[in-house]
C-alpha cells in the first residue's frame, strides 16, 4: 500500500542512531558519566558568539514579518551574494549569487543534486568508506550506487580502481573530504589526478560526468593541508556545503549548493537544481538561518578543541596497539577492529561501556568509527576502557 523502499527506510534505523538510542538508555541506567558514547557526529563545540549576536540583531532590527517570511525559493538574494563573495574571496572561484541555491543542510544539498541529475540506468560512484545516507538520497532516482575501494592504508582515492569503475553509465561521482567516517583528507595531488582522470573519461564517453563535492567538514582540517576548491579544477562540479559542523548548527538545517558557472549547459543545470528543490519540497531554506549565516560568513566554531581531541585520542589508541587511519580532518577516528567482524568487536566494546560504530554500513567492514566530538574529559576517562578492550585480544 505504501512505497516499499520508503517504508524500509522508515523502519530500519541507521546503525549510528541505534547505538545512540542504546547509549541514552544505558546512561539512564548507570549514569551518563559511566557511558563512553562515541557514536554520533553531533558537534560538541558551541556555535561561536556571532551566531547568538546575529539572532539578537535580526530580531531587534529586522522587520518581523519579513524576518520570518518566505525568501525566494533558491534563497535570499543578499544572502546568496554574501555567500558567493565569500567563496570568491577565499577560492577565487568566479561565481555569483546565481550559482548558489540555499538548502536545509548538506543532506538536502545532496538529495537535490542527485535528484536533479540522476535517472534510472545511471551509475553514481562513491568511494569507500562513505556516508551511508548517499544510498537513501539517490534511491528514488533509480540510479545505481557503485562503491569503489580507496588506496589501501592511506584511504586516498585509488585512481586506477576509479579508472576501471567508470563506464558509459557513470553520470556522477561523489567525494567527501574531510571524510566521514575515516577523517582522511584527500591530498591535493590525489584530487587533481582524479579530476584529470574524470576529464579523460568525459572525453572517452562523450558526456559529462558530474563531480559532487560533499563538504560539511571543509572547515575542520587540523594540519597544514590545502583542500582544493573543486570548481577551480573540474568544470562539471556541484559543491554541497553545510554549516552543521562548521558553525555547530546541525539542528538548524542550513547549507547550500554551488553550481559551477562552467558546468555543462549551466542554465539547465541551475534550473534542474531549483526544480529538484521544488519537487522535493525544499524551497526556501530557513529564512532566519540564511541571514544568520550571512552575518557569520567568515566565522567557524573553535575547531582547536577537536584537534586537541584528535591528538590525544589518536596518540593514545595507537600506543595501545590499535591501528588507526591518520585523520587530518572531520571529527572521526577510523579504527581497525581487533577481529574480522567489526560488529562483534563493537559488541565487545559495549561490555566496557564504549560505544563505537561498526563501519559495515559505511562500506568498510573490519573497521569501527569513533566520533571524538565530545568533551576531552570523556576521552581521558575512556582510555582505560579502550586499554582493557585491547587486552582482551592479546
Contact positions vs ligand PLP (CB under 6 A): 41, 105-107, 131, 176, 180, 214, 216, 242, 244, 250, 255
Q: How far is the CB of 362 from ligand PLP (least distance, A)?
A: 10
Q: Considering beta carbons, is residue 19 or 389 the nearer one to ligand PLP?
A: 19
Q: Considering beta carbons, is residue 106 or 294 the nearer one to ligand PLP?
A: 106
Cα dihedral 259, 260, 263, 267 sign? positive
Q: Considering beta carbons, is residue 242 or 361 the nearer one to ligand PLP?
A: 242
Q: Considering beta carbons, is residue 175 or 274 the nearer one to ligand PLP?
A: 175
Q: Considering beta carbons, is residue 105 or 327 the nearer one to ligand PLP?
A: 105
Q: How far is the CB of 340 from ligand PLP (least distance, A)?
A: 26
Q: How far is the CB of 294 from ligand PLP (least distance, A)?
A: 17
Q: Considering beta carbons, is residue 216 or 228 the nearer one to ligand PLP?
A: 216
Q: How far is the CB of 174 from ligand PLP (least distance, A)?
A: 9
- C-alpha–C-alpha distance, residues 237 and 99, integer Å: 11
- C-alpha–C-alpha distance, residues 160 and 150, integer Å: 10
Are 77 and 290 spatial neighbours (Cβ–Cβ below 8 Å)?
no
Q: How far is the CB of 228 from ligand PLP (least distance, A)?
A: 18
Q: How far is the CB of 216 from ligand PLP (least distance, A)?
A: 5
Residue pointed to by grid coordinates 575512556: 382
Amino acid at each position: 500500500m505504501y512505497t516499499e523502499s520508503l517504508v524500509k527506510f522508515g523502519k530500519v534505523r541507521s546503525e549510528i542512531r541505534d547505538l545512540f538510542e542504546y547509549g541514552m538508555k544505558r546512561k539512564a541506567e548507570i549514569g551518563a558519566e559511566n557511558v563512553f558514547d562515541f557514536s554520533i557526529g553531533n558537534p560538541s563545540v558551541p556555535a561561536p558568539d556571532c551566531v547568538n549576536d546575529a539572532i539578537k540583531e535580526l530580531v531587534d532590527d529586522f522587520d518581523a514579518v519579513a524576518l520570518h517570511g518566505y525568501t525566494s525559493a533558491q534563497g535570499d538574494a543578499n544572502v546568496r551574494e554574501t555567500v558567493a563573495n565569500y567563496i570568491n574571496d577565499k577560492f577565487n572561484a568566479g561565481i555569483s549569487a546565481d550559482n548558489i541555491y540555499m538548502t536545509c543542510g548538506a543532506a538536502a544539498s545532496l538529495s537535490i543534486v542527485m535528484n536533479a541529475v540522476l535517472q534510472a540506468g545511471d551509475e553514481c560512484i562513491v568511494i569507500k568508506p562513505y556516508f551511508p545516507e548517499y544510498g537513501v538520497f539517490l534511491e528514488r532516482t533509480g540510479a545505481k550506487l557503485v562503491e569503489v575501494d580507496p588506496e589501501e592504508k592511506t584511504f586516498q582515492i585509488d585512481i586506477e580502481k576509479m579508472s576501471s569503475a567508470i563506464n558509459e553509465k557513470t553520470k556522477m561521482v561523489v567525494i567527501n573530504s574531510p571524510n566521514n567516517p575515516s577523517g582522511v583528507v584527500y591530498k591535493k595531488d590525489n584530487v587533481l589526478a582524479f579530476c584529470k582522470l574524470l576529464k579523460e573519461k568525459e572525453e572517452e564517453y562523450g558526456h559529462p560526468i558530474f563531480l559532487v563535492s560533499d563538504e560539511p567538514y571543509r572547515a575542520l582540517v587540523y594540519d597544514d593541508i590545502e583542500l582544493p576548491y573543486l570548481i577551480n579544477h573540474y568544470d562539471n562540479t556541484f559543491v554541497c556545503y553545510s554549516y552543521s559542523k562548521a558553525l555547530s548548527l546541525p539542528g538548524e538545517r542550513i547549507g547550500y549548493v554551488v553550481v559551477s558557472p562552467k558546468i555543462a549547459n549551466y542554465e539547465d543545470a541551475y534550473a534542474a537544481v531549483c526544480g529538484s528543490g521544488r519537487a522535493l519540497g525544499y524551497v526556501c531554506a530557513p529564512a532566519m538561518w540564511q541571514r544568520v549565516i550571512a552575518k557569520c560568513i567568515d566565522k567557524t566554531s573553535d575547531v582547536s578543541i577537536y584537534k586537541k581531541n584528535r591528538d590525544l585520542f589518536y596518540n593514545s589508541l595507537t600506543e595501545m596497539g590499535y591501528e588507526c587511519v591518520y585523520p587530518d580532518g572531520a571529527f572521526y577516528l577510523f579504527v581497525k577492529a581487533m577481529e574480522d567482524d567489526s560488529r562483534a568487536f563493537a559488541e565487545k566494546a559495549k561490555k566496557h561501556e564504549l560505544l563505537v560504530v561498526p563501519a559495515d554500513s559505511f562500506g568498510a567492514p573490519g573497521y569501527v568509527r569513533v566520533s571524538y566530538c565530545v568533551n576531552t574529559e570523556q576521552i581521558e576517562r575512556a582510555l582505560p576502557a579502550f586499554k582493557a578492550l585491547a587486552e582482551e585480544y592479546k
